Amino acid sequence: MREVADYLGNPAAVSRASYVDSRVVDLFSTCSSRRRPRQTEPGGAGNLTLMQSPVHTTDVVVVGAGLAGLAAARRAAEAGLDVVVLEASDAVGGRVRTDAVDGVLLDRGFQLVNPSYPAVRRLLDLRALSLQQFAAAVVVARASGSYRLSDPRRGRGLVASLAGATGSLREKAAFARYAVVCSYGPVSQLRDRPELSYGAALDAAGVHGQLRRAVLEPFLAGVLGEDRQETSRRYVDLVLRSFARGVPSLPAAGIQKLPDLLADGLPEGSLRLSVRAREVTGRRVVSAGGTWRARAVVVATDPTTASELCGLSPPRMRALTTLYFRAGWSPVPDRRPLLHLDGDRRGPVVNSAVVSDAAPAYCRNGSLVAATVLGAADGHEVEGQVRRHLALIYRTAVEPWELIATYPIREALPSMAPPVTLTRRVDLGDGLFVAGDHRETPSMQGALASGERAAHAVVASLGAPAARDPVA
Ligand SMILES: Cc1cc2nc3c(=O)[nH]c(=O)nc-3n(C[C@H](O)[C@H](O)[C@H](O)COP(=O)(O)OP(=O)(O)OC[C@H]3O[C@@H](n4cnc5c(N)ncnc54)[C@H](O)[C@@H]3O)c2cc1C
């Protein structure tokens, strides 16, 4: 298995297995060939001397072209402001990127977009995403057999699916009551519920048997990046709501289609790739390629960098690792695209899916299986355990499967341990604004909504563009 150093300058080397981390994504360039070329700042490559270092002026500089930065830039541009987006990496997307390797699409960490996310609906053309749906169900593997659990409104029903296999009727009824409040109550009510860990909230709701241990805990571990049930119930209630309201899906062309579509809507020339902001002081952004002076700066980097640039306290981050295997054929006989969990927790895999059963373009030659584990794992070390676990989950021999790549993402998701504020301030004063999932919730919805919120705050502080003063 190759380390990232092997990959530099040799894109094909990633095909065996690769290392990627949200803070070193700019080492990868395979995606760029699939995208329309963007303006790249010469200084971003470090070849501009200090003497040449130019000073640029604009209304708004957005630092970071992940979902939050792109949403902020789109909204600010729509309001008539001149916007420049500085992105350290070689392509847009941040944690939402896709590598094309030997004809296989590999998202940098298995993730799903939920079309019920309000910000996705506001900002993106769902038809252009060409979403490929997963089934509104999960498969729970146990030593005693495999059990499909469907959304009660779409399939046989949670209670029926689990009859005799996991949990008591009382527990199932208690969870159904809990889920109904999350799914259909007003969001404001969910946000203001007493702050507890979700484990304590499920205890209080009477959900503490097999349904919880075999289904809810493994499922939520993969979504939250932790299995101690310490995440705030305020956030978990919103997660349950989104799963009740929409079916998780993948864009046919890879998860990176989301940021690519957002970037396509930016004004020509506003995006500068391979430009890393080194310093943000007041309304100035300094990079190796020059200095930008603006009337407002939106820092939309990853949470750790944002803390450094803005002087905020850094959030604790959760790590996830996804291993991708190519199998000769789908291990799921009817090829129904489902999320697979292990109700007996017999190994490190928190969830697995046959990605190509949902989105065939991800792997035309064989089947692509994703397996996600908690933490930033070394592919060498976990491969054996993951294979043994996948054999139990899919009840098939997995030795012939080829490990294509491993994506350990050290800084995958900000922790949401209580107490949390679901809407954190984006206006830091003196023309400095901050956006990113750490200002809202650790999700695509949170990132996009925070970007929109930061842009609205910028527009409110600068006034109507028609009345604005020119940038000095
Ligand atoms: C493995 C994994 C699984 C996930 N699963 C899901 C899921 O199923 N559903 C879901 O909704 N969400 C999921 N998420 C979360 C979601 O991807 C993130 O919450 C979201 O993408 C964060 O976007 P962002 O714009 O806030 O930050 P980022 O994506 O981190 O973007 C920050 C950008 O800033 C750039 N940058 C950093 N420093 C600088 C600098 N100094 N100068 C210029 N640019 C800089 C970076 O290169 C990056 O492009 C998952 C995340 C991971 C990693």
Per-residue pLDDT reduced to its tens digit, 140-187: 999 999 998 876 655 444 444 545 556 788 998 999 999 999 998 898
Query: Best substitution site from 351, 415, 438, 444 to test ligand 1's pocket, by max atoms within 8 Å of Cβ?
Result: 444
Chain position carrying tokens 């830039």: 73
Q: Average pLDDT of 270-286?
A: 96
Q: What gap in Å lies between CA 355 and CA 405, rounded to an integer? A: 14
Query: Best substitution site from 26, 27, 96 to test ligand 1's pocket, by max atoms within 8 Å of Cβ?
Result: 96
Instruction: Supply the residue whose CA is at minimum distance from atom 50 of ligand 1.
Output: 111
Instruction: Supply the residue whose CA is at minimum distance from atom 32 of ligand 1.
Output: 301
Instruction: Supply the residue whose CA is at minimum distance from atom 6 of ligand 1.
Output: 111
Q: How far apart are the CA of 296 and the centre of ligand 1, in A?
A: 22
Query: Best substitution site from 113, 133, 286, 302 to test ligand 1's pocket, by max atoms within 8 Å of Cβ?
Result: 302
The pLDDT of residue 466 is 53
Question: Which residue from 69, 117, 140 is spatially nearest to 285, judged by alpha carbons?
Answer: 69
The pLDDT of residue 165 is 56
427-452: pLDDT as tens digits = 999 999 999 999 999 999 999 999 99
381-430: pLDDT as tens digits = 999 999 999 999 999 999 999 999 999 999 999 999 999 989 999 999 99
Q: Average pLDDT of 4-21?
A: 33
Dihedral angle computed from the Cα positions of residues 75, 111, 157 and 332, in that order, rounded to the nearest 10 degrees: 140
Q: Average pLDDT of 357-369?
A: 97
**pTM to 2 decimals?**
0.89
Instruction: Supply the residue whose CA is at minimum distance from atom 10 of ligand 1.
Output: 443
Q: Cβ of 195: how many Cβ atoms within 10 Å? A: 14
Would you say residue 22 has pLDDT above 80?
Answer: no
Give 227 or 39, the one with higher predicted confidence.
Answer: 227
What is the position in ligand 1's atom list of the atom closest to the CA of 109?
1
DSSP-based three-state secondary structure for 352? strand
Would you say residue 81 has pLDDT above 50?
Answer: yes
Question: Which residue from 265, 274, 309, 295 is spatially nearest to 56, judged by alpha carbons?
Answer: 295
What is the position in ligand 1's atom list of the atom closest to the CA of 445?
11
Q: Is the dihedral of CA 305, 307, 308, 309 positive or negative?
A: positive
Q: How far apart are the CA of 388 and the centre of ligand 1, in A?
A: 31
Q: How far apart are the CA of 64 and the centre of ligand 1, in A?
A: 10
The pLDDT of residue 337 is 97
| Burial class, 52, CB count within 10 angstroms (exposed 0-12 / middle 13-18 / buried 19+) | exposed
457 Cβ contact partners less than 8 Å away, ≥ 6 residues apart:
426, 427, 433
Q: How far apart are the CA of 167 and the centre of ligand 1, in A?
A: 36
Q: Is the peptide bond before 419 cis (omega within 30 degrees of 0)?
A: yes
Query: Best substitution site from 25, 89, 301 to test ligand 1's pocket, by max atoms within 8 Å of Cβ?
Result: 301
Q: How far apart are the CA of 196 and the centre of ligand 1, in A?
A: 26
Pocket of ligand 1 (CB under 6 A): 22, 25, 63-69, 86-89, 94-96, 109, 111-112, 276-277, 300-302, 305, 320, 409, 412-413, 436-437, 442-447
Instruction: Supply the residue whose CA is at minimum distance from atom 38 of ligand 1.
Output: 301
The single-letter code of the amino acid at 226 is E
Give 86 or 210, the one with higher predicted confidence.
Answer: 86
Query: DSSP secondary-structure letter at 134?
Result: P
The overall average pLDDT reported for the chain is 87
Asked if 325 contacts 384 with a C-beta cutoff of 8 angstroms, the reply is: no
Task: List the Cα angle 368/369/370 in 5-degree steps.
Answer: 120
Instruction: Supply the residue whose CA is at minimum distance from atom 2 of ligand 1.
Output: 109
